[in-house]
Copies of this chain bind each other. A is one copy, B any other.
């Protein structure tokens, strides 16, 4: 488990053994069942989470009371309810597992202390934030110019992992399509293929 996260962070900067150990000592293991909540809307999120195994989704409730999924995350991804975590305010989002999931988490306090004592960790998390920013920007820009059907096919082609493991209605929500319409899209597509 430590090897897994160690391997991950070494992609961003060169940490020596003592630095890694300091980091490891702050990590807490958490096991979650299927459909279990990591964070519920309204709570303040105090942790940054790293997925060892499993799959989660982040969603919020829109003005009509429907769940809207803002992201998925799986093995070797960091996630948190960023606004809540950074500002220490109640979260607008809930984060819930889709499969049963194992995470390592680190508290904001510990992480901030780590930034003070070992600036390389600040670099790590600067780069992670930067990459997330790039990814979300690309997602919005690409999907903006696509019709529903193209978004669906793009998602299927580019994220087969998610596609296999996430139920259709959640994919629909993520792609900003109603489940009904997605269903009719799928129907057309499969008719053409077969």
Q: What per-residue 1/0 map shows which CB atoms of A102-140 lie under 8 Å from chain B?
A: 000000000000010001001101100111111011101
How close is A186's CB to chain B, nearest CB, in angstroms?
22
* In the complex, A157 has a CB within 8 A of chain B: no
Q: What per-residue 1/0 map shows which CB atoms of A142-169 lie under 8 Å from chain B?
A: 0011000000000000000000000000
Q: What chain B residues lie within 8 Å of A134 (beta carbons)?
A: 82-83, 86
- Interface range for A: 20 to 34
Q: What chain B residues lie within 8 Å of A140 (beta carbons)?
A: 70, 136, 140
* In the complex, A68 has a CB within 8 A of chain B: yes
* In the complex, A60 has a CB within 8 A of chain B: yes
Secondary structure class of chain A's binding surface, majority of residues: helix
Contact A60 B136 (CB under 8 A): no
CA distance A82 to B49 in the complex (A): 25
* In the complex, A3 has a CB within 8 A of chain B: no
Contact A60 B119 (CB under 8 A): no
CA distance A130 to B84 in the complex (A): 12
Which of B64, B133, B176 contacts A144 (CB under 8 A)? B176
Q: What chain B residues lie within 8 Å of A136 (beta carbons)?
A: 133, 136-137, 140
CA distance A45 to B86 in the complex (A): 28
* In the complex, A191 has a CB within 8 A of chain B: no
Which of B70, B137, B144 contacts A82 (CB under 8 A)? B137
| Contacts from A to B (Cβ < 8 Å) | 60, 62-64, 68, 70, 82-83, 86, 115, 119, 122-123, 125-126, 129-134, 136-138, 140-141, 144-145, 176
15 further contact pairs, Cβ within 8 A, besides A70-B137, A133-B133: A60-B141, A62-B144, A63-B145, A68-B144, A70-B140, A82-B130, A82-B133, A82-B134, A82-B137, A122-B122, A125-B126, A129-B129, A129-B130, A132-B133, A136-B137
